[in-house]
Amino acid sequence: MKKMEKRHHIKLVHEVNYFNTFFAVFSLYKD
């Protein structure tokens, strides 16, 4: 159970990092 929670947390962090990268690239092109 604990292992699954940790894996889900890592997946969530990965998704947030992906979104931040996308947002950074988007604002770069917007300028």
pLDDT digits (tens, 9 = 90+) for 1-31: 677 777 777 788 889 999 999 999 999 998 7
Its pTM stands at 0.50
Residue 12 has a pLDDT of 85
3-class DSSP assignment, residue 1: coil
Instruction: Tell which residue, 17, 20, 16, has the closest CA to residue 28.
Output: 20
Exposure b/e, 1-31, CB count within 10 A at least 16 = b = eeeeeeeeeeeeeeeeeeeeeeeeeeeeeee
State both tokens at 31.
Answer: 């300028």
- pLDDT confidence of residue 1: 61
